[in-house]
Amino acid sequence: MKPAVITQARMTSTRLPGKVLEEAAGVTMLEHHLARLTAAGLPVIVATTTNLDDDPVATLADKLGAGVVRGSEHDVLSRFALAVREFRPDVVVRVTSDCPLIDGEVVRRGIDAWAAADEPALYASNALERTYPRGLDFEVFAAAALLEADRLAIEQPHREHVTPWLYGDDARPKLNLPWERDASAYRITLDTAEDLRLLRILIEEHGAHHLDTPGLVSLLEAHPELVAINAEIEQKKLGQ
């Protein structure tokens, strides 16, 4: 098995432009994200765009030792397919760079669970039924399944959001990877100014970038005043 993590990153986020290069504790969010993924013990590929605005993203990712591919801004599925064709993993772990506190150990366990199922068509995720805080999401599937989606998916939301063609296939076996308890009410993703404010406080004042999932949840439980900072933010729906 030759797995790789592919993460998407760009500067032109609609709700918080430039978010991946915003800093907390003097370190960009993209650096926090990639550092957290090292615990998974896998090669990481950053799939960014050919836009000039994303030159700094590509440069930083390369400097940090990640693989880099550049493709369409809005056809993100084609960017992932490009990464598969260039780096040739046979298993893909999809994450997004708006998860600066992603838990690499959780990702590693997810890959192991996917492999143990011994089902090449399997789609696995820890967000099919959400129990983890938003911001720790990952998906695992065969590279061949991604290339099939790239060939056959034609609807724009399927192209933009990469995996709906896979998890929306009723015939495809799926594996949900829940946490031991329900912490789905917490939000530690990066999509708005409120999210950025919370993440900066968590990282700079509480060392959240050094905490595992139980530590992150315990921190949030201990500080409801921090949770309230972005509690009213609604996640963008598919196709928005």
Question: Which tens digit of pLDDT belongs to each residue from 123-147?
Answer: 999 999 999 999 999 999 999 999 9
Looking at residue 78, what is its pLDDT?
A: 98
Report which of 29, 24, 25, 17 is spatially closest to residue 193, judged by C-alpha positions. 17
- Average confidence score pLDDT of the chain: 96
- Domains of the chain (ranges; CATH) run 3-184 (3.90.550.10)
* For residue 14, pLDDT beyond 50: yes
Looking at residue 171, what is its pLDDT?
A: 96
Query: In the chain, pLDDT over 90 holds for what percent of residues?
Result: 97
Structure tokens at 123: 């789609």
Q: For residue 223, give Cα distances in angstroms to 214, 226, 227.
A: 14, 5, 7
* For residue 238, pLDDT beyond 60: no
Under 8 Å between Cβ of 94 and 139? yes
* For residue 240, pLDDT beyond 50: no
Under 8 Å between Cβ of 33 and 122? no
Instruction: Give the phi and the psi of residue 130 in degrees, each rounded to 5.
Output: -70, 125
pTM: 0.96
Rounded distance between C-alpha atoms, residue 160 and residue 10, angstroms:
13
Question: Which tens digit of pLDDT belongs to each residue from 153-169?
Answer: 999 999 999 999 999 99
Question: Which tens digit of pLDDT belongs to each residue from 38-71?
Answer: 999 999 999 999 999 999 999 999 999 999 999 9
